[in-house]
Every structure is written in structure tokens, then in C-alpha cells.
Structure 1
Amino acid sequence: MSVQDDLAAVKRCLEDLVRTVGQLERSIEAERGGPSAAPPPSRPENLVTIPDTPYDSGLWTDADDEGLGARDRHAP
């Protein structure tokens, strides 16, 4: 099989899966007596909030500018 054949087979399988999941969702809704409200999305516990305030410039005093060399020297 070529890569194109493999990709076509995977695409068909994925479409079958999506169709089957849709049918399963519809059958579950029918058993429950109609559409049900989706549960509220939960916030992941490992989510890190990044503040909008600027970073302390003191953190970067000894850092090199990537690709440009150090501030007090010329790039090669």
C-alpha cells in the first residue's frame, strides 16, 4: 500500500467513527428523553495564568540576545 492509500483508509475509518459516535449520542439522547444540557466545562488544574504586566527587566540583565550575541560585544 502506498502512503496515499493508507491516508485514504484512515480518513474513511475516521469518518466512520465520527458517524458512529453521532449515532450513539443521538440514541443516548433518545433514551434520556430528549436533549440534555452539557456539563459546564471544567478548568484544568494545571492551567497557568500569565499576567499582562511587563516582566521585571532585572531578569534579563545577563541574558544574550538570541542570534545577536551579548549586548556589549559585536556579533561575529
Structure 2
Amino acid sequence: MSVHDDLASAQRALEDLLRSVGRLEHRLGNGPEMRRVRIDAQHLRDSVALLREASRSSTPAQRPTLVTLSDTPYD
């Protein structure tokens, strides 16, 4: 799977989670625990959206160039 596929899958799962949270909120009411779960799920959805944007605009990470240092004494 590519990064794009993984992010899309995570976004779909979070949308399913938000729908389930909405149904639970309808049945259990809007208490502090329910609000916290809803807010946490929304934050996760927002975070995944930010990751998707970052993955579109960034270039693949390059390995840094290694520099060999000599063990011989120097001034």
C-alpha cells in the first residue's frame, strides 16, 4: 500500500468512527465524556487531513550525506 492509500484508509475509518460517535451521542446524550470522545475523534480527523496535505506538498526525505572523519591527530 502507498502512503496515499494508507491515509485514505485512515480517513475513511475516522469518518466511520465519527458516525458511530454521533449515534452514541444521540442515544447517550451530550455529557462531558461524550463531548470529549467527539472532540478527540474530530482532532484525529483534522490531524489525518493535515498529514494528507503534507504528503502532497513534500518531497521524499533524502538521506544526509555521511562525512568520514579521520582518526589521525590534527592541529
TM-score (norm 2): 0.38
Higher helix residue share? 2
- Structure with greater contact order relative to length (CA < 8 Å, sep ≥ 6): 2
For the pair shown, the structure with the greater C-alpha radius of gyration is 1
